[in-house]
Amino acid sequence: MSVKVRFAPSPTGKLHVGNVRTALVNWLFAKGQGGQFVLRIDDTDLARSTPEFEQGIEDDLTWLGMLWDERHNQSKRFDRYEAAADLLKASGRLYPAYETGEELDRRRKVQLARGLPPIYDRAALALTDAEKAAYEAEGRKPHWRFKLDHGRVAWEDLARGHCEVDTASMSDPVLIREDGLFLYTLPSVVDDMDMAITHVIRGEDHVTNTGAQIEIFEALAKCGWEGATPGFAHMPLLVGSDGAALSKRLGSLSISDMRDQGYEPIAITSHLGRIGTSDPLEVGTSVEALGESFAFAKMGRSPARYDTADLDRLNAQALHVMSYETAQPRLAALGVDLGEAFWTVVRANLQKFADVVEMAAIVQGPVMPVIEDAAFAEAALALLPQVIDETAWATWTAAIKEQTGAKGKALFMPLRLMLTGQPHGPDMAAMAPLIGRDRIVARLKGDGAA
Ligand code: GLU
């Protein structure tokens, strides 16, 4: 069986690390075994969905390297949802209810006061045709509830193992609102059947929902709707580095913000694809390679810890191994393509790609030299080799050491400060030939323009 999964985001906001992790695990699971990934825009809520958010979703997935094989908009498939709803109505599984939100609230309060679970009492099932007609005459429109089987629904979850949900403890879910809006529950099932989705992979906050949806899959199949019930995987939720649920903070962790902050896509996909699994939290070579090593068996049951410090570390790792060929167009775009030797030296010092601009300034100047000891600067200048090649630094520093007696930090720090104006930075032996003799001389003389 060839695997086919879907990612079904609502275009009502920006993608954040939480929903991208869901998308990514779907993508890795499918692509790791040559399967298909469907992007399904869950835009049945026409009032809250926007084309800008939809475009943002596509841009983010593309940037992360998670391309899709098929793409659908639920807003273009209302005829399918109507057809499914008609079948369910005809079979008695979808029934009209007329209670207002206030009435339902009041009933819930009474139930709670009596120590009963606040489950919908199915009063609407007992309505006679005359009573329904009276409501309609009053101007009330029905919402439509799915009549659950009130039994145990069981499935073998790829991430959680054996799962059971007792639908007797649930209210019959509303599938269609009084204004005619299809809530996500039914369209999702119809699409999963129509698109031959083999696995539904999502967060564990959907477990109860899955119980109801499996009953809907089965009810539709019984009515003759083509398609099968997919398998399921419910992933543990993301928590922050403090162990607290991330759900409330997710809004501030959007992928577009992370792109603006200079994170590498592979750092984000490595982080989100590997947290909460037994794989080491190291950067992958590509999102495809992450897919090859992905397995639900590696996923633990405890929450996955999202930590910006880990992301920063992976981001630096990604840069430290980035080839010149990959970096070159980006260097050129920043106006700092100083050649392969430059890239190979400085990449080890980068936290974010844009740090390279600072490194280029060390080479090209101007640098404000920090000279703490004029005599030392003069001695160093006198001993500077004529040719600054790869071996010049070793020869030069050995000569300075011999003449001044300075060694270790006392030798190297003043040289770094004079040549770069900073106490930290890339390997000086490799930087010296890039800086070149003229600039070194000028900086040793304290020339702030060199
Ligand atoms: N749009 C739904 C959500 O984002 C999709 C859930 C699902 O994967 O079935 O929660």
What average pLDDT does range 264-288 have in this prediction?
A: 95
What class is the 374-444 domain?
mainly alpha
Count of other CB atoms within 10 angstroms of residue 237: 17
- Of 415 and 246, more confident: 415
Who's near 70: CB < 8 A, 6+ residues apart? Answer: 36, 38, 39, 195
pLDDT digits (tens, 9 = 90+) for 64-100: 999 999 999 999 999 999 999 999 999 999 999 999 9
pLDDT at 399 (0 to 100): 97
Q: How far is the CA of 9 from the centre of ligand 1 (A)?
A: 6
What average pLDDT does range 432-450 have in this prediction?
A: 93
pLDDT digits (tens, 9 = 90+) for 153-201: 999 999 999 999 999 999 999 999 999 999 999 999 999 999 999 999 9
User: For ligand 1, is residue 230 a contact (CB within 6 Å)?
Assistant: no
Q: Does residue 247 surpass a pLDDT of 80?
A: no
Residue 117 in contact with residue 111, Cβ under 8 Å?
yes
pLDDT at 245 (0 to 100): 83
Domains of the chain: which residue ranges?
Answer: 240-320, 324-364, 374-444
Who's near 201: CB < 8 A, 6+ residues apart? Answer: 5, 22, 25, 26, 29, 158, 159, 232, 233, 235
Q: Does residue 257 surpass a pLDDT of 90?
A: yes
User: For ligand 1, is residue 264 a contact (CB within 6 Å)?
Assistant: no
In the block, tokens 């939100």 appear at 101
Pocket test for ligand 1, best of 37, 72, 206 (most atoms within 8 A of CB): 206
Q: Does domain 240-320 have CATH number 1.10.1160.10?
A: yes
Q: Does residue 252 surpass a pLDDT of 80?
A: no
Q: State the Cα–Cα distance between residues 128 and 228, nearest whole angstrom.
A: 35
Closest-lying ligand 1 atom to the alpha carbon of residue 6:
8
Nearest CA to ligand 1 atom 5: 8
pLDDT at 168 (0 to 100): 95
pLDDT at 448 (0 to 100): 79
Tell which residue, 383, 381, 429, 418, has the closest CA to residue 403.
Answer: 383
Nearest CA to ligand 1 atom 6: 8
**Mean pLDDT across the chain:** 95
Nearest CA to ligand 1 atom 3: 9
Q: How confident is the model at residue 449 (pLDDT cuts 50, 70, 90)?
A: confident
AA identity, residue 402: E
